[in-house]
Amino acid sequence: MKKLFLLTIVVLTTFLANAQPPAGDANIGDTYGAKVSPDGAMAINEAAAKLGENKAIQTKVKAKVLEVCPKKGCWVKLAVNDSTTAFVKMKDYAFFVPTAAVGKTVVIDGELKSKIVSVAELRHYAEDAKKSAEEIAAITKPQNEWRVTATGITVVE
């Protein structure tokens, strides 16, 4: 019984230690996931305009980070323009980004698509972002958003 209890404590401690964004300052040149060269990257609003009727495109985009998941660093919100944002998830949940990336400009290699996001998913991300109960309850309609599935992210500014 003692061994089972000890094993449970070790597993729980390991899980809690991993359930945080990576530490670090997100300095210029820092890479998360696959290494991404900034060469050939286009502004995310230009890439979104190119999407057109295609369901998804493989691209390399450059954008400013507005928000990072405070729980694990498992998603990032980018500025597309003054009123539009894009949501970034890491492919296969393979890497995370430190919260220090907020305000930095990054280049992301991945798939860009337009997606209708359900109310349940929007509420889940609002909870992750530690929004108030009132803000979460106010989410009542699905939203169309730009979605990037990132294979790699590099801080460039």
How many domains would you assign to the chain?
1
Distances (CA, A) of 11 to 16, 18, 34, 87, 157: 9, 11, 28, 31, 38
Mean of the pLDDT values across residues 103-128?
Answer: 92
Confidence category of residue 95, pLDDT binned at 50, 70, 90: very high
Phi/psi at 64 (nearest 5 deg)?
-90, 135
| pLDDT tens, position by position, 39-79 | 999 999 898 888 766 688 999 999 999 999 998 899 999 99
For 142, phi then psi, to 5°, come to: -65, 155
61, part of any domain: yes
Range of the domain at 29: 21-155
Instruction: Kindly tell me if the per-residue pLDDT of 27 is higher than 80.
Output: yes
What percent of the chain clears pLDDT 90, i.e. is strictly above it? 57
Asked whether residue 82 is assigned to any structural domain, the reply reads yes
Looking at the domain assignment, is residue 7 inside a domain?
no
| 1, part of any domain | no
> Does 68 reside within a domain?
yes
pTM, 2 dp: 0.77
Comparison of pLDDT for 131 and 106, the residue scoring more: 106
